[in-house]
Amino acid sequence: MLCIGHRGAMGHEPENTLLSIRKALALGVDAIEIDVYNVEDNLVVIHDRDLSRTTNGTGYIEERSFAYLRSLDAGKGEQIPTLLEVIETVNRQAIVNLELKGSNTTKLVVELIQRYLKQGWVEEDFVVSSFNHYELHQVKAICPRIKTGMLIYGLPWEYLATAQKLQVDMVIFNLDFVTSELINSVHQQNLLVWVYTVDRPDDIERLKAWGVDAIFTNYPERIILN
């Protein structure tokens, strides 16, 4: 079972910062998940639409300038990182799982990944995921080589048929809704099952026994040392 550091290692360091990414790498994660927005055609890494929870700024991220975002403290003096900075920091030491959060991210994200693929990085270095399944469709339409993960919350009606139509590589369940029967039905379609966000040791054990392929955690050491 792979260990995915959630927003880096947000149980230890400010989420979605380079400090958090480095902590996750130091803990030996297999993958790092981060959240992506487009601000003035710059891809930046932050979770909320509103800046106030994770930075000393205010307002909606997509209504602010890139220069303003870069002037903010995202925790412990860290800047809001660009996606490029995150990828360069990871530098193939782990899979980068980019979650498309904001609008108009798809084209720029695909172009960036394609640039890395041309430089010798491989498909397995990236996974693009989103709750916005139209965006996932768009990713595969532009570049079928890119791996995609269909994020779901709850249990959407006929989600497996959607997963197949979208040609995703994995279905990503919320912990509260996943069961061993669901895991088996996804595996039968030759798709992987990832589960978010799992911090409790008893949940980690149960999901491992059920054959889940990867879990997102805020505390990677709880999976890696398991």
Cβ distance to ligand G3P smaller for residue 87 or 102: 102
d(CA 165, CA 189): 12
- Phi first, then psi: give them for residue 186, nearest 5 degrees: -70, -45
For Ca ion, the closer of residues 78 and 117 by Cβ is 78
Instruction: Note the residue count of the chain.
Output: 226
Q: Residues of 16-37 as b/e, b for ≥16 C-beta within 10 angstroms?
A: bbbbbbebbbebebbbbbbbbb
Q: Shortest CA distance to 128 belongs to which of 141, 208, 118, 120?
A: 141
Which listed range, 29-37, 63-71, 85-93, 160-168, lies at the site for Ca ion (CB under 5 A)?
29-37
CB closer to Ca ion, 10 vs 186: 10
- The verdict on whether 6 is a catalytic residue reads yes
Distance between CA atoms of 42 and 39, rounded to whole angstroms?
Answer: 5
How many CB atoms are located within 10 Å of the residue 154 CB? 10
Q: Which residues contact 92 (CB under 8 A, 6 or more apart)?
A: 121, 125
* Shortest CB 165 distance to ligand G3P, Å: 21
Catalytic annotation on 133?
Answer: no
- 169 contact choice in ligand G3P, Ca ion, none (CB below 5 to 8 Å, kind-dependent): none
Interface with Ca ion (CB under 5 A), residue total: 2
Which SS3 state, helix, strand or coil, does residue 226 take?
A: coil
Residue 13 site contact among ligand G3P, Ca ion, none (CB < 5 to 8 Å, cut-off depends on kind):
none
Contacted entry of ligand G3P, Ca ion, none for residue 23, CB cut-off 5 to 8 Å set by kind: none
Binding site for ligand G3P (CB under 6 A): 6, 33, 35, 47, 99, 129, 151, 172, 196-197, 216
Q: From residue 88 to residue 117, what is the string marking binding to Ca ion with x (rule CB under 5 A)? A: -----------x------------------
What does 129 bind: ligand G3P, Ca ion, none (CB cut-off 5 to 8 Å by kind)?
A: ligand G3P
| Joined tokens for residue 143 | 């570049």
Give the position of tokens 């930046």.
44
Single out the catalytic residue among 12, 47, 133, 137.
47
Q: Which residues are catalytic?
A: 6, 47
